[in-house]
Each structure stands twice: as structure tokens, then as C-alpha cells.
Amino acid sequence: MYSSKIVGLGHHLPEQVITNQYLSTLMDTNDEWIIERTGIKERRWIDPAKDTVGNMAAKAARMALERAKVDVKEVEFIVFATITSDYYFPGSGVIMQRELGLEGIGAMDIKNACSGFIYALSVADQFIKTGMYKTVLVVGAEIQSTALDVTTRGRNTAVIFGDGAGAAVLQRSDKPGILSTHLHADGRYAEELYVKDPGSSRPREERQPEQILDTTGFKVVMNGNQVFKHAVVRFMEAINEALATNHLKKEDINLLVPHQANLRISQYIQEKLNLRDDQVYNNIQRYGNTTAASIPIAMSEAWAEGKMKENDVICLAAFGSGFTWASALIRW
């Protein structure tokens, strides 16, 4: 059995900065209200004339490969986490593959929302551990902004989400890097955070675009209280599971990189684990919730800031739509 290790990280963010003040001109909200509930001060939204999920992912991937000093032609497989692919089908993995000039290698998409990157990392880890591939590109990328209801009716979700992409280069290693990954789901809560359309389980008449009169099914539906209540429990379960599996204690964590869902959730987890501010990486204040992209963007920034050093124990944790939740423990 082989081991896998992250050898490079990269990210890309759209240029357009959307402040809370700007959102207050579109809907009944204000800076204080948004910060108090989410911790978010600003987020990035794409320019539809130039940004796509595929090309943002390709830019993040190129940064990760450059930092890793790995030639793009060494990549043997792509695992791409997104719920906002450029097309309904095919997935964005093949779009990024085309952007990188990697025609012929396998590419798969994972549609697990905020937990998607850790799921993708786990899949890539298994491919390398079994000896099937030596170099796998793992990506999380999202464009949420163009689907948001930017009126007062949609403010509970419109103020939260941002766009962006993050990438990791995973390679076979002699030393353990990815120590373990832990994946969970509970479909009983699928409709607590979901987008109904364009779903397939409808009468034919309801799936024809010219017949669609009610477009509310295309908007994000979120039961914020249920999400928060489950997230704080599942985050802790997943982190403790990862520590127990590797016979480590919470005191052994050098850096926790949680999914950037809500600053209050991250602070709650930090308090429960008794971690210092410098042991938890948060950038939701600047980028909002970028769904599957949030963890790789945060990791890429943390690495660039010197917060991930050799032999450090890095813990990743996420919770999202499904409900799904996951964790990964990494020896850097």
C-alpha cells in the first residue's frame, strides 16, 4: 500500500469584490446584520464575460502545479468537486482537462457541495494508495453568484455565497501525508439545504423550459437553523473520529482548516477544541462561503502565509448539503 501527499496548492478568485454595503443597495440588509450572523465582510463574484468554473479551476491548478514544481503532463487523473458545473452535463472536470491540454486522462466530478473537496481528496487518496495513479489533481471550484436571489426575499443565502477555485496536487509518497479521511452523509435532511431544479423526477411538461412558470425551484433553499444545529455536532464528530483513528489528541493539531460556512461555526469548533486563533485558518470574512472551493482556497492561502510547516498535523473538516460531512487528517 502506497501513501499520498499534497505537494502543491493553488487558488484563484474573481477580481470583483462585493461588499456588504453594496448588497445593502440591492436588498434590506446592512453590514452589521451580515457580520453578526455570518462573519462575512465581503466576497468575490465572477464577471460572466470572462470567468467560468472551468477556467478558474485551471488557473488554480496551474498555480498548484507551479508551486509543486510538477509538469502538467505528469497529471494522470482529475477529481473535480463542484455543484455549479459550467454545463448541466458534462461535468467541469473535462472542461478543466481541456483547458490544461490533458486530453485522454480520466476526469470525474463529485457533487457533494461543501463537503465535496474532502470527498474528492479521499477518492484521489485511494487511487494513489492502490497504485493506480502517481499524480492526481484535486479541485474544488464554484460559481454561486449567478444563481443567487439578490432581493430581500433571498438575503439569507445571497449574503453568504462567493465564487472561487482551489486545487491540490496529490502524489505518491514514501512517507504518510494523508493519514486518513472520513466521509459521512444523512439523506434524511436532503431538503434542508438544496436546489430543486433542474431535477429529473418531474412530469415531462414540468421539465420543458418553455413550460416552466414557477422558477422558485431554481433558487437555493436553506433551513439555516437546522444546518447550524447539525453542523456544530457533525464537525466535532468528524474531527474527533480523525484524531481517534490516528491515535492523536486535539492538542496535536497544528492547524485546523474548516469549511468556511459561517464564522460562528468555526469559532464554536475552535472553542470546543481549545485552539488558539493562530491554529484555525478562516478567510470567510473576505470570500464568503465558496462551497467546495473553500477548503482548498484556505489551504493555499495558509501555506503561502507559512502556516503549514513540515510534519505539522493539519485537520480539514466540512459539513454541507445532503447532509454530508467529512474530515481529513494530514501530516504535512
Task: Encode pLDDT of 75-104 as tens digits.
Answer: 999 999 999 999 999 999 999 999 999 999
Note whether 293 and 243 are same-domain residues.
yes
- The DSSP letter of residue 77 is E
309 DSSP β-pair partners: none
Residue ending a domain, choose from 116, 141, 175: 175
92-100 helix and 53-68 helix, angle to the nearest 10 degrees: 50
Residue 220 has a pLDDT of: 85
Note whether 148 and 252 are same-domain residues.
no
Note whether 276 and 160 are same-domain residues.
no
Active site residues: 114, 259, 289
Note whether 80 and 204 are same-domain residues.
no
Model's pTM, two decimal places? Answer: 0.97
What does the alpha-carbon distance between residue 60 and residue 162 come to, in Å, rounded to a whole number? 16
Q: How many domains does the chain have?
A: 2
Q: What would the mean pLDDT of 59-82 be, rounded to a whole number?
A: 98
Q: What is the pLDDT of residues 169-198, one digit of tens each?
A: 999 999 999 999 999 999 999 999 999 988
Note whether 214 and 147 are same-domain residues.
no
Residue ending a domain, choose from 157, 175, 193: 175
**Cβ pair 311, 176 in contact under 8 A:** no
Note whether 164 and 226 are same-domain residues.
no
Handedness of CA 295, 89, 43, 268 (dihedral sign): negative
**Cβ pair 106, 90 in contact under 8 A:** no
Exposure class string for 194-225: b at 16+ Cβ within 10 A, else e: bbeeeeeeeeeeeeeeeeeeeeeeebbebeee
Note whether 205 and 171 are same-domain residues.
no
Average pLDDT score over the chain: 96
Range of the structural domain that residue 227 is part of: 179-331
**Cβ pair 130, 117 in contact under 8 A:** no
**Cβ pair 119, 81 in contact under 8 A:** yes
Count of CB atoms within 10 A of residue 174's CB? 8
**Cβ pair 139, 291 in contact under 8 A:** no
Residue 219 has a pLDDT of: 81
Q: What would the mean pLDDT of 55-84 be, rounded to a whole number?
A: 98
Q: What would the mean pLDDT of 251-258 be, rounded to a whole number?
A: 98
Is 137 buried (19+), middle (13-18) or exposed (0-12) by CB count in 10 A? buried
Note whether 111 and 227 are same-domain residues.
no
Residue 205 has a pLDDT of: 78
What does the alpha-carbon distance between residue 331 and residue 23 come to, in Å, rounded to a whole number? 40
CATH number at residue 204: 3.40.47.10
pLDDT confidence bin for 213, thresholds 50/70/90: low
Of residues 65, 18, 259, the one with CA closest to residue 162 = 18
Among 46-55, 126-135, 195-204, the least confident range:
195-204
| % the chain with pLDDT above 70 | 99
Distances (CA, A) of 54 to 13, 97, 122, 300: 13, 8, 21, 18
Q: Is the peptide bond before 127 cis (omega within 30 degrees of 0)?
A: no
Q: What would the mean pLDDT of 126-144 be, rounded to a whole number?
A: 98
Q: What would the mean pLDDT of 316-323 be, rounded to a whole number?
A: 97
Residue 327 has a pLDDT of: 98
Note whether 169 and 313 are same-domain residues.
no
pLDDT exceeds cutoff 90 at 208: no
**Cβ pair 140, 296 in contact under 8 A:** yes
